[in-house]
Structure 1
Amino acid sequence: MKVKDFDFYLPEELIAQHPLEKRDESRLMVVDRNSGSIEHKVFKDMIDYLKEGDCLVLNNTRVLPARLIGEKEGTGGKMEFLLLKRIDSNSWETLVKPGKRAKLGSRFVFGGGELKAEVKGIGEEGSRIVEFEYKGIFEEVLDRLGQMPLPPYITETLEDKERYQTVYSKEIGSAAAPTAGLHFTEELLAKIKDKGIKVVFITLHVGLGTFRPVKAETIEEHHMHSEYYIMSKETAKLINETKEMGGRVIAVGTTSCRTLETIASEEGKVREESGWTDIFMYPGYKFKLVDALITNFHLPQSTLLMLVSAFSSREIIMRAYEEAVRERYRFFSFGDAMFLK
């Protein structure tokens, strides 16, 4: 299947540059994944599409303020570091700009010397393996010095860092937010629980590899980067009970969906588990566990758009995207949502 089959025209002004004042007042496109029928709603209407006995699965990862601005030791040249993946307590795989200044042995300083770094190796696709030096707790240093690693298509400044976190974020470790979850408020989640719907959490630490462009001509040639996931015993138990009682397992976001499908057995059962996944779902993939999906509107030719097409069909999803453009939906991280039922 050709990557260009997942291209679509998106006017630049539809790329959301900032979150709405109220999370749950973004728009919601409800799509029947089998018939392709479409309804236009507001996100807080999501509760009307959930039934007692369903199980909502959310990703509780928390985004690191993983963008660091510093300078090269000795020359003072400005450098930008983006933390991608933790290797051990002090070492990270990072993207460095400009990369030509980040040779093996090069040293850098951040925050007037509160944090220092040395390039120890060269990673995949030009990334750098960097060892950091600091006093105290790394996450606290990063919280003081780091910035949110917003995607490159967001050019406006984010005033409140918490708006790029879900209200239930807990486990620190992502380089990007699980954006389908940004629409939920604590009040909406409370109403969902009161209606008899299970709300459970998994963790998948989102890496930037998820958003890297597909450079191959055909989908089958593309290789996904791996991301770390955790499924607790309690979450696995509640998901299995939901399936046994005839309820639906509803994944909030492609990250939850990828985690569930990685762990699920052929019989649609899950268990307590942690590990790395590089699962790549595109049309032809047979879903073992997920019954419905809440997701945002994704980039043209992206692996996320291919996953959503696998859950429905390429034809239905591309028609829905055409309608979203016509109806002036907001796209990408701070944009509107789709519910595939």
Structure 2
Amino acid sequence: MLSISDYHYDLPDARIARYPLAERDASKLLEWRDGVIVHHVFRDLPELLTGNETLFFNNTKVIPARMYFRKPTGGLIEVFLLEPVVPHLVELAMRSTQAVEYRCMVGNLKRWAEGSTLERSLGDTTLRVTLLDKASMYVRFEWDDARMPVAKIIELAGEIPIPPYLNRDAEALDAQRYQTVYSKKEGAVAAPTAGLHFTPAVLERLAAKGIGLEELTLHVSAGTFNPVKAENALEHPMHSEQIVLRRQTLEKLVASEKIVAVGTTSMRTLESVYWFGVQLLQNPDAAFDIGQQTAIKPYHGTLPDRSTALKAVLDCFQRRGLEELYGSTQIYLVPGCQFHVCDALITNFHQPGSTLMLLVAAFTGGNYWRKIYQAALDGDYRFLSYGDSSLLWRGV
């Protein structure tokens, strides 16, 4: 039993950051290390690191996943892209110049008949969407111009899907600010928000100090906002997200001395890679598919250390002749879990009783998360996606 009530705290509405600061790196930064809290400004980050760290960034790019269509009768239908069905891989779907199918959330679903098609003009092409299956909300997207990939069609038709707890419509500034400066790989429907504080200047100063800067990809899904409804948090169904792991990233990961995850999505990716290595040591033909219970269930035997598990993944790349590997993860990191890869985490301040709150509590150990969050509340920190940041070192 893991009571979600134990991971709630009182978050005043006024402390939720509705908009970003004018300067990304002007946000506050709370550092927690060995039970001690120190307050900084985010642009101080390079001075807080010694030089033997490697930061791992999630380079996914948020797509304008929310679209609106008018029925011939005038009714408005909202279509929110969740995950591709055909083709299944996010990166293949983004590059496709042919019809694709997505699982969606549909607003005003009862007024959209199954099998019917809605159209919308996008300048030189017309986008047609067909509701294939009302129960599963599968939608097919087709357009006229075979030179245009899906990513471009979505850019023309959609708007950036800012988090629901901001309680406002997306505005022009969100197209830029709800995106990291290093985003590259289209496919996410939510931002890896820990990275929103980084600027080119901060990245340059980190590199000048000899700190490693590496990128990985986890396409953040809307499931990141799913509330934990079960009182026993272990009964919560964890969402699945797609990962792209590149050989170069893995080689740097194996060689890294201190590993800092920039955001919970990077942490979930890195810890998933460890568990993939564990699976490969047992079965060299294992698929990169990490289940919800992987990090929770008791492991029979002695777990390999970080180096052994990561080298098993690198051996897999070499054996299979791969430069990149596609995988998926439902990894659920909750109090009681061990962390095998990450030494530190850069992250924002999260919603009470969320899966991200559980992750922070697990990483810092004991009940330290309450001390950290109370210090942030007392220090007038801004919370959630557009809020302030923290640098948390792994607890014991």
The corresponding residue for 2:126 is 114
Q: Quick one: distance in 1 between partners of 2:43 and 2:330?
A: 32
The corresponding residue for 1:233 is 247
Residues 18 and 158 in structure 1, CA contact (< 8 A), matched pair in contact too? no
The corresponding residue for 2:221 is 207
Question: Which of 194, 206, 210 is the aligned partner of 1:192?
Answer: 206
- TM-score after normalising by structure 2: 0.80
1:103 Cα deviation from its structure 2 partner: 4.3
The corresponding residue for 1:174 is 188
Are 1:92 and 2:90 matched, yes or no?
no
The corresponding residue for 1:158 is 171
1:118 Cα deviation from its structure 2 partner: 0.8
Question: Which of 248, 258, 269 is the aligned partner of 2:258?
Answer: 248
Q: Quick one: distance in 1 between partners of 2:31 and 2:19?
A: 23
The corresponding residue for 2:387 is 335
1:313 Cα deviation from its structure 2 partner: 2.4
The corresponding residue for 1:216 is 230
Q: Quick one: distance in 1 between partners of 2:215 and 2:38?
A: 28
Paired amino acid for 2:160: M
The corresponding residue for 1:14 is 15
1:158 Cα deviation from its structure 2 partner: 2.9
Q: Quick one: distance in 1 between partners of 2:134 and 2:356?
A: 28
Paired amino acid for 2:143: Y
**Partner secondary structure for residue 367 of structure 2:** helix
Are 1:267 and 2:319 matched, yes or no?
no
Question: Quick check: 253-262 or 214-223, which moved more?
Answer: 214-223
The corresponding residue for 1:68 is 67
Note the residue ranges of structure 2 that are not aligned, 5 or more in a row: 88-92, 94-99, 278-303, 318-324
Q: Quick one: distance in 2 between partners of 1:275 and 1:163?
A: 28
Are 1:130 and 2:139 matched, yes or no?
yes
Q: Which runs of 4+ in 1 moved over 4 A?
A: none
The corresponding residue for 1:31 is 32
Note the residue ranges of structure 1 that are not aligned, 5 or more in a row: none
Q: Quick one: distance in 2 between partners of 1:158 and 1:314?
A: 40
The corresponding residue for 2:281 is none
Q: Quick one: distance in 2 between partners of 1:321 and 1:99?
A: 40
Task: Tell me the C-alpha RMSD between the 2 structures.
Answer: 1.6
Paired amino acid for 1:274: Y
Q: Quick one: distance in 2 between partners of 1:292 and 1:103?
A: 50
**Partner secondary structure for residue 79 of structure 1:** strand
Residues 96 and 102 in structure 1, CA contact (< 8 A), matched pair in contact too? no
- TM-score after normalising by structure 1: 0.93
**Partner secondary structure for residue 167 of structure 1:** coil
Q: Quick one: distance in 2 between partners of 1:6 and 1:110?
A: 45
Go from structure 1 to structure 2 and tell me whether the alpha carbon gap of 1:224 and 1:122 turns closer, same or farther (over 3 Å shift). farther
1:111 Cα deviation from its structure 2 partner: 4.0
Are 1:325 and 2:377 matched, yes or no?
yes
The corresponding residue for 2:156 is 144
Identical aligned residues as a percent: 40
Deviations 1:302-327 (A, max 9, x none): 00110111101251112211221222
Q: Quick one: distance in 1 between partners of 2:130 and 2:186?
A: 23
Deviations 1:267-312 (A, max 9, x none): 2143353211000000011111111000011111100110111101
Q: Quick one: distance in 1 between partners of 2:210 and 2:13?
A: 41
Q: Quick one: distance in 2 between partners of 1:209 and 1:81?
A: 16
Pair member with larger Rg? 2
Aligned residues: 331
**Partner secondary structure for residue 128 of structure 2:** strand
Are 1:83 and 2:81 matched, yes or no?
yes
The corresponding residue for 2:97 is none
Q: Quick one: distance in 1 between partners of 2:179 and 2:380?
A: 25
**Partner secondary structure for residue 114 of structure 1:** strand
